[in-house]
Amino acid sequence: METYKDKIDIKRLPEHIAIIMDGNGRWAKEQGKIRIFGHQNGVGAVRAASEACAELGVKYLTLYAFSTENWNRSQIEVDALMRLLSKTMSEELKTLNDNDIRLNAIGDLQRLPKYNYDALMKTIEATKNNKRMTLTLCLSYSGRWEITNAVKQIAEKVMSGEIAIEQIDEDCVSKFLNTNNMPDPELLIRTSGEERLSNFLLWQLAYSEFYFTDKFWPDFGKEDLYQAIADYQNRERRFGKTSEQLSDKK
Ligand code: IPE
Ligand code: IPE
Ligand code: MG
């Protein structure tokens, strides 16, 4: 059987894929279950996407797991998500190591409950020498939070004389973001049919290709990821130039 994997040109893989994992609650509701059941079933999709990306040779996979705005959900759901997260951290350590994946986390991590923060740091430490791929979890993260933070840090450096105003350019701003050591994602995927950014990687997604699918996150498997990559490879990324200018260069 032909699969989308066969359609992927391995030489033109995106180096960095970002995913807004959405639709867990609706997936659960469809089966008459509570929302947390959907989150629990989303873990398998995280494993599938991580393995698929690592196997193909994608260097960075960044997952939106919990937004700044998600703190406004019910205490019951927030608590359940936090517990699920630390449970997953310890249970998935073996998968991460088996696949040579380094775990990373960005966001306002100080807001996480201590037991959760500790579990996260432990897994990050235990995978720090892995080389094949960096898996970044965005937790208590939002793009505006991140940019505001960068602005504060740059302002401090200007006041202390470490940076001159003339030195503030796009590269400088990028260095003060949580993603400073990563390339920008070439491809953004969002599941569940919603077509918005919900405050995700606002700066970094400036020129990314967007891919939306109606599938809910727990149903998103390896084949869906291959399909998204194959679709991405059919796009023409012009970066402001014209199609003719791009083909002249070939
Ligand atoms: C995404 O699924 C997971 C998180 C935001 C934590 P949702 O929980 O948003 O599920 P829906 O969108 O309500 O279906
Ligand atoms: C975005 O999903 C955040 C995550 C996937 C973690 P939401 O479900 O919270 O987004 P909105 O509220 O529908 O925009
Ligand atoms: Mg949602």
pLDDT digits (tens, 9 = 90+) for 159-189: 999 999 999 999 999 999 999 999 999 999 9
pLDDT at 249: 66
Q: Which two tokens stand for residue 134?
A: 């960096």
Q: 19-53: buried (b, 16+ CB within 10 Å) or exposed (e) per residue?
A: bbbbbbbbbbeeeeeebbbbbbbbbebbbbbbbbb
**Which of 27, 83, 192 for mutating ligand 1's site (highest number of atoms within 8 Å of CB)?**
192
Residue 70 annotated among the catalytic residues of the structure: yes
Percent of the chain with pLDDT over 70: 99
Q: Which two tokens stand for residue 15?
A: 């180096």
Residue 22 annotated among the catalytic residues of the structure: yes
pLDDT at 78: 98
pLDDT at 124: 98
Query: Is the four-CA dihedral 97, 98, 104, 109 of positive or negative sign?
Result: negative
CA angle 210, 211, 213 (to 5 degrees): 145
pLDDT band at 2 (very low <50, low <70, confident <90, very high): confident
| Mean pLDDT for the stretch of residues 198-205 | 98
Ligand 1, CB within 6 Å, residue ranges = 21-26, 66, 70, 81, 192, 217
pLDDT at 15: 98
> Collapsing DSSP states into helix, strand and coil, what is residue 174?
helix
pLDDT band at 250 (very low <50, low <70, confident <90, very high): low
pLDDT digits (tens, 9 = 90+) for 82-122: 999 999 999 999 999 999 999 999 999 999 999 999 999 99
| Mean pLDDT for the stretch of residues 150-162 | 98
Task: Say how many Å lie between the CA of residue 118 and the centre of ligand 3.
Answer: 26
| Residues forming a β-bridge with 212 | 190
Task: Report the C-alpha gap between 208 and 217 in whole angstroms.
Answer: 21
| Mean pLDDT for the stretch of residues 3-10 | 97
pLDDT digits (tens, 9 = 90+) for 28-53: 999 999 999 999 999 999 999 999 99
Mean pLDDT for the chain overall:
97
Query: Is it the case that residue 1 has pLDDT exceeding 80?
Result: no
Ligand 2, CB within 6 Å, residue ranges = 20-22, 64-67, 70, 194, 196, 198
Task: Say how many Å lie between the CA of residue 162 and the centre of ligand 1.
Answer: 42
